[in-house]
Every structure is written in C-alpha cells, then in structure tokens.
Amino acid sequence: GRLEAVTQQMGYHPQYLDSFLKTQHYLMHMDGPLPFDCRHYIAIMAAARHQCRYLVNLHVLQFLRAGGDPQWLRGLDFIPPKLRNLNEINKILAHRPWLITKEHIEKLLKISEWSWSLAELVHAVVLLAHCHALASFVFGCGCEQDDGLGGRGSLKPLSPGNQCFCEVTTGNGCSQELLRINRKRSLDSCMELDSLRERMQRIHVETEGREETRLLQQDREEGEGQGAEVGVQDGTEHCSDLSAGLSPLADTDGEVTGATNLACYMQDPDFGYQDFARRDDDQTQVFRVQDYSWEDHGFSLVNRLYSDIGHLLDEKFRMVDGLQSSAMAKRQGCEPSVFKRGIWNYIHCMFGIRYDDYDYAEVNQLLERMLKVYIKTVTCYPEKTNSEMFDRFWKQFKHSEKVHVNLLILEARMQAELLYALQAITQYMI
C-alpha cells in the first residue's frame, strides 16, 4: 500500500504536495482545450526528451486508460501530424528554451487542417514545461530507480495491462487512498487531499528519523577527510561564467537507463542543453525579467487562454518559495530567503534569464561548487544524474532539505520555460 516515489518525496513538504497534486490533476483530468489521451501523449513526448522512463511508464498507462490508440505508442511516426508538429517546440523547450521564437508559434497556429488553437497551444506548452521540470525532480531525488523510500533500487519495466502504476513501481497493490485521489473529478473534493496530507506527515516523521540514522552510520563508515571542500570562483556579473565548466558527473554504468526504449518518442536525440551564450557572443539576447515577468505578463496570458491554470501555477510558485528552509540557510550563513533566491536565480541564469536588481556574485558566495554541479546537472541534463549524487552532495543537509532544493529546481525550471514560450506567444499576438 505504499505511495509511488514522487509522492513520497514531495510528501516531506505536505503543503507543496497539495498544490502540486491540484495542478497536475487539473492539467491531466479536468476540462481543458486538449483531449485526455493527447495530454498524456504530450507528457510522454516531454518525458522522453530526458529519457525519463519513470514518467513515460506512468503516462503510457494513463494514455491507454484514457482511450488512447495503442498504435500511437509505436512512436512519433504513428501519431496525427498535428501532434507530431509539437515535437520541435518540445525539443527546444526541454534543452534550449531561449531559442523559441514567434515563428515557431506561427507555424503551429497556421498549418491548414493540422493547426492548433491558441488555447490548445497554451495547454500543451504548460504540459511540456510541467513534465520537463518533473523529470528533473524524478532524477534529482532518485525516483527513476525507485525501490522504497530511499529510491535506490531498480525500476521495474512497465507492462501495459490491468496493473496500476503503483503496482509496477512498488510490487504492491495501489492504496485505495491514492486511487481516490487519481480518480476524483472535482477540485472541490478535498477529503482525499486531507487524508494524504495526514499520511505524508506520518511518513515524514518516520522517514526523517531513519534518514538521519542512515547518514550518521554512513559518515562513521566513510570516516573523515573524504574529499576536501572545493573552493568557489570569484563572483562575476556574467551569467555564463556562473555555470561554465560545471559538467555533470559521468554515470558509473556509462549509459542512461532505458534510453533505447524511448527513442521512438523523440527526433533529433543529439539535441541537448548547451551553455547559454558567452559574454562575447552577441547573437543571443539575455531575457530580462524587468521586460517580461511571470507576475506582470505570463500569469494573465496563460490564465486568459487556459482558465484557472494561472492561479494554480502561481500558487505552486509561491508555495515553494514559502517552504521553510531555515536550517539549510543557517548552515550556509545566510537568511532563508537569500539562500533560496540564490538557487532560483542561478537556475534562471543558466537559461539566460537575468534580474537587474540581483548581484550574481552572491551565487558563488552562497553555493558551494559541488552543490552548483548538482543543481546544473539536475536542471540541464537530469538524465545524467547518477545514483550516488543525491546521497553524496551536501551530506550535512537533511533529506527534506535536499528534496526542498529539488522542488526549487522543478519550479524555477518550469517558470523559465514558460517565460520563453509565453513571451513568444505574446509577440505573435501583437
């Protein structure tokens, strides 16, 4: 009767979990511009860009339950052209969102019988950004290799059939509690979320104690002096310098699990993240939040074209910002808000988004180099996150604090993708 891995990890922060579940339920199961089977197929396409077998398995099963055509699961060559035309935006948003332009939007909206409506496109863009960011969380917290609370086993391959996703990942029957959440059809039905919150609080208390005991035992076994603290670079105002040279750690197995199985869901698999333009490259323009922000521009646009989703997204952004992280910030010698803003702005910086009122020298002062490597890997190429990274980095942090950092990564990345996509839609509409 265990809950699946993403819910377990987010359960360390029950208020955020409530907000996340409401948003995901609205995107996937409530009234909206897109048919239900298409929503899950778009989620499959998004998750496949990061070779996230965990999310692909989940949405394959839900796609079939929504009445989707099994032939579509053979790959992009077997889906309607309208859906296949979304592939280019999916690829760009997943890896280099700063490349999206109003021409990409215009192409989708003006393709004769296969054209998208603005409302459909906004729904699709939110789904893509949601699943890209969730893939980062899945890899960052080890859910891709889910086996119990530690998330350090092997994910069993999905065999579409009568099993629910919980049975596939845990080997146990799905709890009636989680089934009620998945099947509810109204946001007004809150009893299941209240029950889940209580259960998550119990899990939090139990697992936090086990995690601290495990870490203490591990530290005793490893002894002292394993790896001196890495020094950080001098502060600089240039975005590209903050992430330059921070390469992901190589996977010990030398391969990405499940990559070959997911190849049919994507084109141009070699297209990936590249460091945002260096300061001597004038070809790529920095995205300045003062000119286009979520609060002043993105929120109203998305809420107008896809009713109420703006409110749910805004609540989720605010919720992650309001999570308590006093212990984590205290260890870094700063205020919680300063530490969280440093992580948020560092993530946005890697996507070329700048805040004129922020001193980027603070990033190097607040974030140790190894923590920056972890954040960049999970944000930009999560599929290269290996099974040791979550445990090895910042051992002085509690498990819930590590999850909090991954939630910041999830939301900052999602907002970055949305800003670029919504700005392009706005430019098209002008």
Which of 265, 294, 249, 302 has the alpha carbon at shortest distance from 124? 302
Q: What is the pLDDT at residue 293?
A: 94
- Axis-axis angle for helices 369-380, 118-140 (nearest 10): 140
Catalytic residue among 38, 52, 141, 174, which? 52
- For 181-235, how does the pLDDT look when each residue is reduced to its tens digit (9 = 90+)? 433 433 333 344 444 445 445 544 554 555 445 544 554 454 443 333 333 333 3
Amino acid code (one letter) for 152: R
**Distance between CA atoms of 184 and 379, rounded to whole angstroms?**
32
**Distance between CA atoms of 64 and 373, rounded to whole angstroms?**
38
Burial category of 244 from C-beta neighbours within 10 Å (exposed 0-12, middle 13-18, buried 19 and up): middle
User: Which of the four pLDDT bands, split at 50, 70 and 90, describes residue 326?
Assistant: low
| 393 vs 105 pLDDT, higher one | 105
Q: What is the pLDDT at residue 184?
A: 40
Q: What is the pLDDT at residue 324?
A: 73
CA distances, 62 to each of 41, 57, 249, 333 (Å)? 9, 9, 33, 45
Q: Residues 403, 10: contact at Cβ < 8 Å?
A: yes
> Where along the chain do its domains lie?
14-145+262-429
DSSP 8-class letter at 163: -
Residue 17, H or E segment: helix 14-29
User: Which of the four pLDDT bands, split at 50, 70 and 90, describes residue 422?
Assistant: very high
| Dihedral over alpha carbons 43, 83, 265, 303 (to 10 degrees) | -20
- For 246-285, how does the pLDDT look when each residue is reduced to its tens digit (9 = 90+)? 544 433 333 333 334 789 999 999 999 988 865 445 556 8
Buried b / exposed e along 357-372 (16+ C-beta atoms within 10 A): ebebebbbebbbebbb
**Coil vs helix vs strand at 155:** coil
Which of 200, 144, 138, 155 has the alpha carbon at shortest distance from 413? 138
Q: What is the pLDDT at residue 296?
A: 93
| Dihedral over alpha carbons 73, 78, 81, 83 (to 10 degrees) | 0
User: Which of the four pLDDT bands, split at 50, 70 and 90, describes residue 325?
Assistant: low
Tokens of 154: 């092997």
Tokens of 229: 């603290």
Q: Is 75 left (phi over 0), alpha (psi -120 to 50) or beta?
A: left
Q: Does residue 351 have a pLDDT over 80?
A: yes
The β-bridge partners of 354 are 288
To the query of whether residue 52 is one of the catalytic residues in this protein, the response is: yes
Tokens of 124: 């699709």
The β-bridge partners of 353 are 287
DSSP 8-class letter at 158: P
Q: What is the length of the chain?
A: 430
Q: Does residue 111 have a pLDDT over 80?
A: no
- For 220-250, how does the pLDDT look when each residue is reduced to its tens digit (9 = 90+)? 454 443 333 333 333 334 454 555 555 444 3
